[in-house]
Structure formats: C-alpha cells, structure tokens
C-alpha cells in the first residue's frame, strides 16, 4: 500500500511526499519502501538542471522496473545524442517528453509480464495466441479451446479484474518536476485503464492513501481562486497541507506509514544542485510531529508555520527546531503521549 503525492506551489516550485511502508508476500508490514525518488541521470541533471521525481504504487517489482528502465533509457538517449553531435545537445527532452518515454516503458513492462505469464501457463506467446496456432518441435497446434481463449482474453484485458494478473494491472504512478521550458509539472499514469495525462489540479494523490489525502487537501486547495492555485501558493502553507494529508493517510489507511520522503523542488535556483532537496530522516519525522501538534490543538497555526519554514526551507539545525517545538507546544506531557499512540480528546488523555 502506498501514499505518493505532489503539489505545485507555482511555475517554478513544488513538493513531493511518499511514505515507506510496504508489505511482504506474507502480508507483513515493513518500512523499507522507496516510493518517490529522483530519476534524472546525473549527467542530464548537471547539464540542464531538469528535476524529475517518480513515484509508483502497486507491485514493488513493477514500480522498480519502470523507474530503473526510465533512468537507463534517458541515459542511453542522452549518450546517443552526444555521440551523434560530438558534444552535449543545446536542448534535451523536457518533462512531458520524458513522461511519454515513461509510458512506453509502462506498456512494454505490462506486455512483457503478461507474455511471461502466458508462456509459463499455456506454453505459447501472445502473437501465437493472436494467430491462433503455434509450433513446437516440428509439431503444429491450433488454439481453439473456448475456455482457454476466454481465460486469456480476460487476462489480457483484465475484464473480470481477476487476481491472477492483478499484480500487473494494479499499478499507477506520478511524475513531477521542473524544467526550464515547461516549469513545474505533475503527470499521472495508470496501468488499470492504460493512460497518462498532465495533471491540471495544483496537486495529485495516488495509492491507497489517496482516499484520506484527497479530503484532507480539499480545504486547502478549494479556498484559493483559480489564479492563486495556478501559481501563487505559499510553499510553507502547501507543505503543511500535504503533510497533514499524508498524516491522515497514515492514520486511516492500512499500509501507509514510516518516515516520509519529502522532496522540495525550486527551479529558481541557478545552482542546479540547489533545485532539489530530499528530506527523509529525523527532519521529516519532526515535520510530521509538528503538523500533528497543529491538527490536535497543541500548536497554533502561526507557530506551526514558523517551525515548518525553519525546518524545511531555511535548513535550521534539527535540534534548534526540536527545542523550539517543545518550548512552544501546549501541555508537552500530553502531546508526548499523543505521539506515542495514546488516545487524546480535546488536549486531554481519554
């Protein structure tokens, strides 16, 4: 299960957040997943400053395969261009073109997995199935069993939503990032219905966590006029809103949890290395706790704003922000118990 999320602040900047909770084959929950991560090869990032983040949900092996193949394809395309022209190209692929390559890989990966399953179960390939016959060891066979044909069509189209191939189709993802041509963009792709699109909203949530993230974000997104949503959101307010949404998913959705991976993108930075900041350690957990304090009435919004700004955007030392939190919070003993899982009602232990 997963919560992957992206929110655009303005033309240049935005934030991505993913959790790290996954389940094993034995349905044991472990916090080792890498749900959102950069995918632009270093040689492309260093030369063009394009920032790209990919997040996937569904089968971990499918997501990892898509992410790795996308990075390798971009690297291969870039090196081919350098070899062709004898120097680095003046321009390289923008984010939308990278998304097109990503979706090609998504389709290829889906088809490859379906082909492997068909070959293992029925001993013939998809082209042979379409042709209606196959040959093995010099002997020809016709594919005419109606029950087999029905089963295969159901699997290839996922018409009956069978679990047998659900691990292939139940995958989706987000790409978010910045390039100098398009600015900050969010894209969504889905194997269930086989499409990709540029997200027109100021944010996108995917994974099982979206059922909790969406309602939590509505109050934030809906209060702004259209022009403000298009390019005037306060980065600190937006970060608080998205952390609040992922906290809600962590509380209410099985399989969402662990330390968040928070990735901040700022295309205004002329130093390309400063265009991306990845926060996934004690600072991300502290951000989680600060917003929980706000949600449960232990910290005012003004103090929450200052703490998140210092922690995520001003790179204030962790200990400084941590000490400020505990100086600011109301009823620190009760708040401490809230963070340890005690039930709290109106600032008091229930």
Output the pLDDT for position 308. 98
Residue with tokens 């304090």: 293
Residue 294's contacts (CB-CB under 8 Å, 6 or more residues apart) are 240, 244, 300, 301, 304
Statement: residue 1 has pLDDT above 80: no
* Structural contact between residues 203 and 242, judged by C-beta atoms closer than 8 angstroms: yes
Residue with tokens 């790179």: 315
Residue 168's contacts (CB-CB under 8 Å, 6 or more residues apart) are 59, 62, 110, 113, 114, 117, 191
pLDDT tens digits, 123-152: 888 888 899 998 888 889 999 999 989 988
Cα dihedral across residues 77, 266, 39, 115: positive or negative:
negative
Helix, strand, coil % (nearest 5) of the chain?
Answer: 50, 20, 30
Which CATH number is 1-280 given?
A: 3.60.20.10
Statement: residue 23 has pLDDT above 90: no
Question: What predicted TM-score, i.e. pTM, was given to this entire model?
Answer: 0.91
Q: What does the block give as tokens for 52?
A: 């790209």
Q: What does the block give as tokens for 48?
A: 């063009």
The alpha helices in 274-316, defined as continuous H runs, are 282-295, 301-308
Helix (H) or strand (E) holding 14: strand 13-18
Of the candidates 74, 78, 65, the one whose C-alpha atom is nearest the C-alpha of residue 101 is 74
Q: Which of 20-24, 106-110, 237-241 has the highest mean pLDDT?
A: 237-241
The residue extents of the domains of the chain are: 1-280, 281-350
């Amino acid at each position: 299960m997963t919560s992957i999320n992206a929110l655009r602040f303005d033309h240049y900047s935005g934030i991505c957040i993913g959790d790290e909770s996954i389940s094993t084959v034995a349905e044991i929950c472990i916090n080792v997943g890498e749900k959102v991560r950069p995918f632009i090869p270093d040689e492309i990032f260093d030369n063009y400053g394009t920032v790209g983040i990919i997040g996937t949900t569904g089968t971990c092996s499918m997501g990892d395969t898509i992410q790795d193949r996308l990075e390798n394809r971009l690297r291969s395309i870039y090196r081919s261009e350098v070899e062709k022209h004898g120097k680095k190209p003046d321009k390289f692929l923008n984010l939308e073109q990278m998304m097109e390559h990503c979706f090609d890989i998504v389709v290829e990966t889906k088809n490859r997995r379906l082909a492997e399953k068909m070959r293992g179960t029925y001993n013939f390939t998809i082209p042979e199935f379409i042709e209606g016959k196959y040959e093995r060891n010099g002997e020809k066979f016709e594919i005419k069993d109606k029950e087999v044909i029905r089963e295969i069509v159901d699997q290839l189209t996922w018409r009956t939503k069978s679990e047998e191939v659900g691990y292939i189709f139940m995958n989706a993802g987000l790409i978010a990032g910045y390039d100098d041509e398009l600015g900050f963009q969010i894209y969504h792709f889905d194997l269930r219905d086989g499409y990709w699109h540029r997200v027109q909203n100021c944010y996108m949530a995917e994974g099982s966590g979206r059922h909790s993230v969406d309602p939590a974000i509505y109050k934030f997104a809906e209060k702004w006029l259209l022009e403000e949503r298009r390019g005037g959101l306060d980065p600190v307010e937006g970060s608080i809103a998205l952390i609040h949404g992922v906290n809600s998913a962590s509380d209410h959705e099985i399989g969402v949890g662990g330390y968040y991976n928070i990735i901040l993108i700022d295309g205004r930075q002329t130093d390309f290395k400063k265009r991306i900041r990845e926060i996934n350690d004690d600072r991300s957990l502290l951000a989680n706790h600060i917003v929980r304090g706000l949600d449960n009435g232990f910290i005012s919004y003004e103090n929450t704003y200052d703490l998140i700004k210092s922690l995520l955007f001003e790179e204030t030392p962790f200990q400084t922000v941590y000490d400020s939190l505990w100086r600011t919070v109301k009823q620190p003993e009760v708040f401490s118990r809230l963070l340890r899982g005690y039930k709290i009602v109106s600032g008091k232990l229930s």
